[in-house]
Chains A and B, each alone.
Chain A
């Protein structure tokens, strides 16, 4: 198989001592950020992206893979030990994980989460390796109208379908699209919305937007509710070894969770929230049917399944990201921003133009999950110590780190101003219950939607029909309609949980 030999050369590239070191550093840093209360994978990736820009692309993306897996693990750790999931996709993990921790089974809960993540990542990345080339073959036949349809699909999917309230989701999306308008219009050279500032000619960097929305927004939010924070209750984790019985109870949920998670990454219907809920529901029903269900009191199946589903979804979201340049989750969106920072446009051409880098990245996803397992499984108790840092230092550190990261990317104070302004926007949205993910999708795919729309209209000389003339576009719009109708069904499933 061609993919295998390419992957082999990817491993050769990724397994140099230097790149292994970057991967290791990435895993450690990613876990450190992911473990902090309230911050999840997307935040870990967003905060650490600026750091990777100092490296050459291969090293950067390998470190990136490490950050990603580390952040994923960190989020699960806080969900289990503190009942504070860093992101919506770890929410379900806390349902059973925290009761487990209270029963003194935190080590087993952590192990079920880590090993589940490992199993799911290995399976899902293997699928990515074989499916990405297929996606690329398909993507070569995409015209401007199809890309426009894809962008619309992603917009509506994240804004209206995934984030419960359509109006709120679309509002977030609109704000994201607005941010994306700033800067020189590539096609005509017109200067748009820079308000006379030369620093804005390049537009507002995706790193500024993500770090501002997630990190600064979070700190402002925490400050605004400072005297209402519940005293966090730390549970001491022990060494995460599982008994034979735990293994017996976990391996099937891992595989089922993976199977549920995989398809949700590939279709741009965004995020791993739905598959984690589905997996939780499935495991609970199965446990009840078997009798003696421990659900509600700390069932290991309720940790194993959703964590596997979460990781499978995030890993397979690389297929549309690499093949089409289409992010289906916040993490993928930040990753796309990172590609663009290096002047690469994910999509069909990426596999031919940057083949070496892509295969090295895919190989390091395997390496990253192995390193994560080896390093974090025995040392989970040490990570939990991070939670003893006083809250005031924790958030002060986050602000300093976010500011530095953004400043060093361009050595521009204007970027810091933008960072804080976006942070204020993030706070406003967060406080009033508007989702953040659609803002990011709007910022990242807005330019793609505009460019492709204008291209399509230029080719057809203004005939709107061209947008609906291609079968691919029609299929996408059809899927969208189906998804809009199917959404209430998913809601019912979740409510029944």
Chain B
């Protein structure tokens, strides 16, 4: 994307792209709903409005809304918003969680500028921590994966006293393990420590 913009136009650019980004997301979800509804297995029990009726309605609503969001955007963004905005969004990243960051929102009508530029490092670290946690929870068990979750988020948000933070993280996950399994009788994944705990 072009970087030679003043802060103000950068913000309004983000705002403009944000609106299109949400519109695109909504349209994509609407299309998925539409396609899955059309290909749905419907048990034939002669009900008047079948299980497909409401999903069709919802997908139509989503598609209409995304179109309206685009229209609103085009109306609100005057001539300086060029067509390159759309391509910028695609360039920002293809997977959903990443792409959303770069684009701005924009309270049209409220007259506010776009949101602040995304702070990629902490955001990426938190996102990566969450993904890792999901992948590792069952193989490693709660004690380790939970402590990793705490430590990852805390590091991402500026905790730099690594030893102390790790200690706090393990205390947190152990207390949670004790409270949930001993206290409330619910099981958390034991993972590789299963034999020990």
Chain A contact residues, CB within 8 Å of chain B = 54, 164-165, 167, 170-171, 174-175, 177-178, 181, 185, 187-193, 216, 219-220, 222-228, 390-393, 395-397, 399-400, 403-404, 407-408, 411, 413, 416-417, 420, 423-424, 427-429, 431-434, 449-450, 453-454, 457-458, 461-462
Contact = CB atoms under 8 A, between A and B. Distances in A.
A188 B45 contact: yes
A315 B95 CA distance: 42
| 10 pairs of A and B residues whose beta carbons are closest in the complex | A432-B105, A392-B159, A190-B51, A396-B154, A185-B51, A396-B153, A226-B122, A392-B157, A392-B154, A433-B105
A181 B32 CA distance: 12
B196 interface: no
B185 to A, nearest CB: 8
A449 to B, nearest CB: 8
Given A181-B55, A188-B42, A431 B62 contact: no
A429 B49 CA distance: 32
B133 A416 contact: yes
Interface in B166-197: 168-169, 172-173, 176, 180, 184-188
B134 to A, nearest CB: 5
Contact of B48 (A192, A429, A431, A458): A458
Interface in B95-134: 96-97, 100-101, 103-110, 112, 115-116, 118-119, 121-123, 125-127, 130-131, 133-134
A457 B57 CA distance: 15
B97 A54 contact: no
A192 B51 contact: yes
A177 to B, nearest CB: 5
Given A181-B55, A413-B138, 19 more contacts: A165-B108, A170-B65, A174-B62, A192-B55, A193-B33, A224-B122, A228-B116, A228-B119, A396-B154, A399-B126, A404-B188, A424-B100, A431-B104, A432-B103, A454-B48, A454-B49, A454-B54, A457-B49, A461-B48
Interface residues of B, number: 86
A461 B103 CA distance: 48
B72 interface: yes
Contacts of B55: 181, 192-193
Contacts of A225: 115-116, 118-119
Contacts of A416: 133-134, 137
Nearest to B54: A450
A454 to B, nearest CB: 5
Contact of B25 (A54, A428, A450): A428
Given A223-B123, A393-B159, A454-B47, A400 B172 contact: yes
A165 B45 CA distance: 42
B65 A431 contact: no
A223 B116 contact: no
A463 to B, nearest CB: 10
A220 B22 contact: no
B116 A175 contact: no
Nearest to B60: A174
A396 B43 contact: no
What DSSP secondary structure best describes chain B's contact surface?
helix
Contact of B184 (A54, A171, A424, A427): A54
B139 to A, nearest CB: 11
Contacts of B66: 171
Contacts of B121: 226
A392 B155 CA distance: 7
A324 B33 CA distance: 30
B26 interface: yes
Given A223-B126, A413-B137, A54 B47 contact: no
A193 B188 CA distance: 28
A220 B127 CA distance: 8
Contacts of A164: 109-110
Contacts of B143: none
Interface string B18-40: 11011001100110010011001
Contacts of A178: 29, 33, 58, 62
8 contacts: A174-B26, A174-B61, A189-B45, A223-B126, A416-B134, A429-B22, A432-B106, A433-B115
Contact of A399 (B103, B105, B149, B187): B149
A116 to B, nearest CB: 30
Contact of B106 (A192, A193, A433, A461): A433
A400 B122 contact: no
